[in-house]
Structure 1
Amino acid sequence: MASKLLRVANSLSRTLPRVQKLTGVTAPVSQRYGSTDVATASQVQLLETRVSELSNGLKIASESSGEPTCTVGLWINAGSRYETEKTNGVAHFLEHMIFKGTDKRSQCDIELQVENMGAHLNAYTSREQTVYYAKCFAKDVEKAVEILADITQNSKLGKEEIERERGVILREMQEVDMNQQEVVFDYLHATAYQGTPLGRTILGPTENIMSIQRDDLVDYVNTHYTGDRMVLAAAGGVDHKQLTDLAGKYFGKLPKTSSKRPEVFPTRYTGSFIENREDDMPAAHIALAVEGASWESTDNIGLMIASTHLGSWDRTHGTSTNTVNSFTSRIIADNLCHSYMAFNTCYTDTGLWGIYFVTDKMDITDMMFSVQEGFMNLCSSITDFEVERAKRFLKTNMILQLDGTTPICEDIGRHMLCYGRRVPILEMIKRIDSMSGDDVRNICNKYLFDKCPVIASIGPTEQVPDYNLIRGRMQKYRL
C-alpha cells in the first residue's frame, strides 16, 4: 500500500475557546463579518461541520455536501515526535504494516475489497500525526469505516510481513534521499531541534528500520491508538448521524486512554547551521529559517501573510521582472536562483518560518543576503498595499485548497486534532481581514528581527557565508 510523507505547511491561528461548538451558518457574509474581498455578495451558504464524541473520547466530525462520493478517515495524534531515539521510525513502519492483513482479511482481501468498491485507500505519517483515509462512493461509507476500523485495531503485524517490509521502507528511504527538498527540510529540523524528537526524521535511521520488532509496533498501537487521540472525519455525501452510529459500532470498544501515557518531549530551538557539501551536484539547495509560531498562536496569521507576500517562484513560470512583488522582481532581475519557496511549518508548540531555494554555486552569497534583506523589509518596509495584496492571495489560496472531499476531510481532521474544533473558512477570512500593516510588521519584528536563524544546505555550498555573518545580517539600522 502506497504511503507518503506529509509536510504540514498550512498554518492557522486560534483565538476562540477550544470548547466552542460549530453550527451551520446561512446568513449573508456582510451580516456576520462585514464586507470582505472574497465574498461580499448575496447569500453565501456554509455547510455545517457537525461534531460528536463517543464515551471513549473518539471524536466524529463531518461536513455533508450531498455529493455522490465522500472521503472518510482517521486522524491520530501519533507521529515521529512521540518516538524515542531507539524507536524512531516505528510510526511510519506501523503505517506500512497496517495494510498487511488482519484477523479477518488478508492483504489481498483488503486490496480486492477496496478496488471492487471503486475506492481509494491510503495513509501518511507526519511528525505529529498519522492518517488513514478512504475515498469512496457515498453508499459505501459503512464499508470504508469498517475497513478502517479493522486495519487499525486488528492488524496481525506478522513477523514475516515485518521482515519483507523492511526492504520496502529502505527503498523508500533511498527515494527520499534522491529528493533534495526532502533532505534539506530533514536537515533543517535536525539542526533547529537538535537533541529533541522533532529533530529526527519521520522514516527513522537505517539501523532502526532493521531492528524494529513486532513488540515495538504493538506497544506503539496500545499507547497511541486510543479514543482520546483519534478523530473520525468525513466530507462529501455523508450523514453525520449514520457516521456517529458507525463510529460507535466499529470504534466503540477502543480504550479511552492508555495506561502508558505518551510522553511529549519539549522542543528546544537552536540557531545553527548544517551543511552537506557535494561539489558534483549541479545546484545548491538551501533553507534559511527562524523559529515560527505554533498551531494555536495568534501570531500565525501575520506570519502566513508575510510568507504569502514572499511567495514562490520558478524559472519555468516565465514570470517577468514586471511582477508586482518587489522581492520576486529583485530575484528575477539579478538572476539569483532557479526557484524559491517561502514556507510556514507549524507544530504543537513551535514552528519553522523561512525560505527554501535552489541556486547556482556562484550566486549563493548574493541570494542568501537578498533573502535576508527580504526578511528585514518585512519588519519595517512592507507597505500597507503589499500587506493587503498578500491578504487577498492568502484568502484565495485557502478557498482554492478546499476543492474536493479529500482536502476538506483533511482540513476537518487536522483542525480537530490541533484546535479541538473545525475553524470555519469565514472565521479565517475575518482574522486575515483584521490584520493591518502595522500588525504584520510588528509580528515580523517579533520573529525575524535580530533572531538566530537556522540554515541547512546541500550541494556545492562553498559560498555559503559564515554563520556569524548571516546572524549579523538578521538586523539592519533603522531611524
Structure 2
Amino acid sequence: MTTTTLHPGRDGAGVVQRTVLPGGLRVVTETMPTVRSVAVGMWVGIGSRDEAPEHTGATHFLEHLLFKGTPTRGALEISAAIEGIGGEINAFTAKEYTCYYARVLDDDLPLAIDVLADVVTSSLITPEDVESERGVILEEIAMHDDDPSDAVHEHFSAELYGDTPVGRPILGSEETINALSRDRIAEYYQRYYLPPHTVVSVCGNVSHERVVELVAAAYQRAGALGGSGQPVPPRLSGPGAGPRSGVRVVDRPTEQANLVLGTTGLSRTDDRRFALGVLNAALGGGMSSRLFQEIREKRGLAYSAYSFTSQYADTGQFGVYVGCLPGKIDDVLKICREELARVAAESISAEEIERGKGQMRGGLVLGLEDTGSRMSRIGKSELVYDTLMPVDEILSRIEAVTPEEVASIAREILSQPMTLAVIGPYGDKDFTQFVA
C-alpha cells in the first residue's frame, strides 16, 4: 500500500492525498475541514464507448441494476440507508466512465462508504431485476427522445462519428436494450467492475487515513480486495475517420427547431484545450458572447444559443446549439456559418479573449465551492489524467493563453468540414448548403 500527497493545500485545507490499495484500488481524498458534509464517489473506468456490439447499452443498464440489491441489502434498504440520514445517493454514466456517489454528513461517512462499496462490488443482477429495469430504461430512452434539445446532441454525435462506440448513445437504443440478456450484463459487470479499474474519491471534513481504512474494510468484507498490479484501463475504441461533412435531419412536428452545427475538437490531454476553452467562452459561452449577441440580442432569432466543447481520450467535439422557430432556421444557420468562418479567418478581438478568460476562471473557481464538485474533480482526474493539475496552475494556464494561440486553434477547428443535426418539421428539406 502506497500513499502520496498530490497537492499540499493551504492551512490544512485542500490537501489531496492518494493511496493505492492491494489489487490496484485507488483512494483519493481532499480535506475541507470547514464544512460538515462529505461527498463520496466510486468511479469505474468503463463507459458506453468501451462496449463491444453485444454489450451495447450494458454500462448504463448496470447503473440501474446496481441499486436493485446485494446479498446484504435490498433496493429499499440501499436508498433508505442514505436518505434516512438526510443524504443523497445516485449515479451517472458517461462515454468513458461511470460514477456512483453519495453526499452525507461527515459523521455518516462510514455508512456512505459501506453502502456504495456494497453496491459497486456485490450486485446480484437477478433475472427479475434485469426485466423490470429493462422497462424503466426503455421509458428513459423514450423520454430522452421526446426532448429534442437533448436528442439533437446525440444525433450530432452519431453523424459526426458514424456508427462507432463514441458515436452511439450512452443509453443504448430500444433494439440493443431488448437484446441484452442477463448473462451478458453480468459478464460485463464481472469483467470491468474490479479494483484496478476503480477510483474512490472523497471530499469534505475527512482524514485520509480514516477514509483508506473504511474503504479497505468495505472491500475486504465484499471479498473484492487483494491481488497485485497497477490499474489497467479498459479498451477505448477509436472514433474512426476525421471530421465529416454530413447532415442528419430528424423530421418531427415540433414547435421549435433544434440544431447542432459543429465538428471534431481536441482530446482532453491536448495542451491547446485552454486556448479552445477561451475561444468557446467568447464565441458562445454566455449572454455577452458573439453568437448570443448576433442571433438573439441583435436579431431576435432564437431564445437559446450557445457553443460547447466535449473532450474524450483521443478526440473531442466543438459545436453550436440553437433552438429557434422552424421558419427562422435558414437565417440562424447562415449567421452561424458566417460567424464561424469569420472567426476562423480573423480570430476574435482582444476584448473577447479577456472576457473568455474571465468566464473560464470564474466558472472553474465558482464550480468548486462544494464537496460534490471537488470530489468529482479529484476522482475524474485520477481516472482519466496522468496527474492532478492544481487549480492555481489551471488558472495560470488560462491566463497564459495568447491571441496567437486562440487564432491558431480557431483556424484549425473552425476550418474543418462541418456536421449538422436538426430536429424539426422539415420533411426532406435540403440543408447541405450549410455544411458545404
The TM-score with structure 2 as length reference comes to 0.91
> Residues 253-297 of structure 1, C-alpha deviation per residue, up to 9 Å, x if partnerless?
346689x9843221124412211122x211210001110001101
- For residue 229 of structure 1, report the CA deviation from its aligned partner: 1.5
Residue of structure 2 in register with 1:297 after alignment: 270
Q: For residue 73 of structure 1, give the secondary structure of its aligned residue in structure 2.
A: strand
Q: Does 1:460 align with 2:433?
A: no
Residue of structure 1 in register with 2:28 after alignment: 61
Q: Does 1:47 align with 2:11?
A: no
CA distance in 2, matches of 1:97, 1:203: 14
Which of 168, 176, 185 is 1:200 aligned to? 168
Residue of structure 1 in register with 2:84 after alignment: 116
CA change 1:107–1:165 in 2 (3 A) is same
CA distance in 2, matches of 1:291, 1:76: 26
Residue of structure 2 in register with 1:30 after alignment: none
Matched ranges for 1:126-165 at <5 A: 126-165=94-133
CA distance in 2, matches of 1:151, 1:457: 39
Q: CA RMSD, aligned part only?
A: 2.3
CA distance in 1, matches of 2:74, 2:190: 22
CA distance in 1, matches of 2:145, 2:249: 15
Which of 310, 319, 331 is 1:354 aligned to? 319
Residue of structure 2 in register with 1:104 after alignment: 72
CA distance in 1, matches of 2:435, 2:79: 53
- For residue 462 of structure 1, report the CA deviation from its aligned partner: 6.4
CA distance in 2, matches of 1:212, 1:172: 16
**One-letter code aligned to 1:238:** V
Which of 416, 427, 433 is 2:399 aligned to? 433
CA distance in 1, matches of 2:150, 2:294: 27
- For residue 189 of structure 1, report the CA deviation from its aligned partner: 1.1
- For residue 134 of structure 1, report the CA deviation from its aligned partner: 0.7
Q: Contact 1:293/1:351 (CA < 8 Å) preserved in 2?
A: yes
Q: Does 1:273 align with 2:237?
A: no
> Residues 329-378 of structure 1, C-alpha deviation per residue, up to 9 Å, x if partnerless?
32221222221121101111101111111112222122112112222333
- For residue 25 of structure 1, report the CA deviation from its aligned partner: 4.2
Residue of structure 1 in register with 2:414 after alignment: 448
**One-letter code aligned to 1:273:** V
Q: Does 1:210 align with 2:164?
A: no
Residue of structure 1 in register with 2:377 after alignment: 411
More moved, 44-53 vs 368-377? 44-53
Q: Does 1:311 align with 2:284?
A: yes
Q: Does 1:335 align with 2:291?
A: no
CA change 1:428–1:464 in 2 (3 A) is farther
CA change 1:48–1:337 in 2 (3 A) is same
Q: Does 1:23 align with 2:7?
A: yes
Q: Contact 1:99/1:151 (CA < 8 Å) preserved in 2?
A: yes
Q: For residue 76 of structure 2, give the secondary structure of its aligned residue in structure 1.
A: helix
CA distance in 1, matches of 2:235, 2:384: 17
Which of 159, 164, 179 is 2:147 aligned to? 179
CA distance in 1, matches of 2:47, 2:79: 25
CA change 1:395–1:409 in 2 (3 A) is same
More moved, 120-129 vs 375-384? 375-384
Residue of structure 2 in register with 1:29 after alignment: none
CA distance in 1, matches of 2:95, 2:229: 21
Q: How many equivalent residue pairs?
A: 424
The TM-score with structure 1 as length reference comes to 0.83
CA change 1:424–1:45 in 2 (3 A) is farther
CA distance in 2, matches of 1:202, 1:336: 32
Residue of structure 1 in register with 2:349 after alignment: 383
**Runs (5+) with no aligned partner, structure 2:** none
- For residue 64 of structure 1, report the CA deviation from its aligned partner: 0.8
Q: For residue 152 of structure 2, give the secondary structure of its aligned residue in structure 1.
A: helix
- For residue 466 of structure 1, report the CA deviation from its aligned partner: 3.6
Q: Contact 2:292/2:306 (CA < 8 Å) preserved in 1?
A: no
CA change 1:215–1:45 in 2 (3 A) is same
CA distance in 2, matches of 1:81, 1:363: 35
Residue of structure 2 in register with 1:168 after alignment: 136
Which of 243, 246, 257 is 1:284 aligned to? 257
